[in-house]
Structure 1
Amino acid sequence: MSEKKDTFEADLAFMRSLVSEGGRAEMSGGIVFFWAGLFYGLQCLVQWANLVELIRLNALGQLSAAILPTVALLVLIGWVMWRDRKQGPKGVATRAMNAAFGSAGLANCFIVVVFGYWAVNEKSFLIWALYPVVICAIQGAVWYTAYMIRKKIWLAGVSAGWFITTLVLGVLAKSPHYVLAIGIALIVLMSGAGLTMMKLAKK
């Protein structure tokens, strides 16, 4: 009887931790997702416009479009980390979600090396084009994990969006509109998710 009581209390404590965490962590994550999606989404839209000759970027313009979003995001992440430097211990749900997204980021680091290596060796743009397809599938899996942890339907919607994007990119891999699809997905799914997180944190 005592063992059942201890198990029940442990389960109750876990469930309480899922719903009682402050909005600070969600706000910080929302800020990063919103601006990351916006920075890289706009980068993709600019690159698509250049590919279909709506605009013409010189070498400096192409280099700036490639580098500036990453520089801006690193500055933003540094600011968020500095802002949250005195934040107390995170709850179970936040730690679980951080682990899921951190694992996806780590997998991304290794996948980009493999795809980059073979794309260069085979001189094949198609191999490189398939890299974002894999990343979108991983994003779908990570957001589904977030849904299973939080049980919020909008998280399932983001997950489904990434899986649909995976299929769309697979079809458009040899088309210049492939870059447009990535840009739209980043703005709608990543920035949209970030905006939702920020709104929920304010509530």
Structure 2
Amino acid sequence: MSTNESDDGLATRADLAFVRALVDQAPKAQGSAGLLFMVGGGAYGVQCLVYWGEIAGFYRLPPLAGLLTAILPIVIFLVPMIWVIIKERGQQAAGVATRAMNAAYASTGLVNLVMILVFGTIATREKSMLIWLIYPIVICALQGGAWYVAYMIRRKLWLMAVAIGWFAAAATLGFIIHDIGSYLLGLALALIGLMGVPGYVMWRLAKRG
């Protein structure tokens, strides 16, 4: 066997091992990300629904209820996040698929934090709620990008469907940004349907794996 043929065989085996890792390892190792998506999407989605209900005139939140609505989702999300950090401290990712998908989701989270500072600062300085409302639209587009990366890694159609859903949500929210009631309802549905539900799916797949 020639050197080139040997190299080609090694490369083929390496490629097969990589593909096998993408298929086999990712579902088992995404339980923590799925848990955070499930809790975060549910908590912040319900928060938007509560605000939408008040704007729609179904009720009027007393000051204490308004404060709890603003704070509780943060607390609810922080609890599992701290648990995941402690649980996975010092653990190495299982394989290339895990590292690739975690990198996509983690980078989106980091950009999210930066965007909060950018849009929050500008919106406060300009005293413009419109600027602040652009922030969730940007995050929706970024989520679409992250889920598209996940699809490219795993080639599962449901991941592509989630990515398309996020892109559609970003475009829709941009069109209805001046109707705050419809905007909040659309954002709530996106958070629950495109973050909470897929997060539950990831969490369940990890449990089975």
- Shift, 1:123, TM fit: 1.2
What is the match of residue 186 of structure 1?
191
Shift in Å, 1:25: 2.1
Residues 100-120 of structure 1: per-residue CA shift (max 9 Å, x gap): 111111111112212112211
Any runs of at least 4 consecutive aligned residues in structure 1 with deviations exceeding 3 A, and if so which?
A: 80-89
Is the deviation greater in 86-95 or in 38-47? Answer: 86-95
Structure 1 residues without counterparts, runs of 5 or longer = none
The question of whether the paired residues in 1 share the 8 Å contact of 2:26 and 2:97 is answered with: no
Alignment RMSD: 1.8
Query: Residue 141 of structure 2 corresponds to which residue in structure 1?
Result: 137
Please state if 1:6 is matched with 2:10. Answer: yes
Residues 1:46 and 2:50 aligned together: yes
2: CA distance, partners of 1:70 / 1:25? 25
Equivalence map 1:41-80=2 (5 Å): 41-80=45-84
- For normalisation by structure 2, the TM-score amounts to 0.90
Instruction: Name the count of aligned residue pairs.
Output: 203
**2: CA distance between counterparts of 1:6 and 1:23?**
27
Q: Does the Cα contact within 8 Å between 2:45 and 2:192 map onto a contact in 1? A: yes
> Taking structure 1 as the reference length, what is the TM-score of the superposition?
0.92
Aligned residue identity for 1:4:
D
Aligned partner (choices 154, 157, 166) of residue 153 of structure 1:
157
Identity %: 47
**Alpha-carbon distance change, 112 to 83 in structure 1, aligned in 2, over 3 angstroms:** closer
Q: CA offsets, 1:26-63, max 9 Å, x none?
A: 22222221111111100110011122221111222111
Distance 2:36 2:114 in 1: 22
Which one of 38, 41, 56 corresponds to residue 37 of structure 1? 41
Say which SS state the counterpart of residue 20 (structure 1) adopts: helix
Which whole-Å deviations, capped at 9, do the CAs of 1:126-169 have from their partners, x for residues lacking one? Answer: 11111111110111111011000010000000001101101110
Are positions 1:18 and 2:27 aligned together?
no
Matched residue type, 2:16: L
Larger CA deviation: 56-65 vs 84-93: 84-93
Q: What residue number does 2:106 align with?
A: 102
Of 187, 195, 203, which aligns to 2:200? 195
- Specify the SS of the correspondent of 2:134: helix
Q: Distance in 1 between matches of 2:18 and 2:102?
A: 17
Distance 2:50 2:123 in 1: 23
CA contact (8 A) 2:104 2:146 kept: yes
**Which residues of structure 2 form unaligned runs of 5+?**
none
Q: Greater CA deviation, 189-198 or 82-91?
A: 82-91
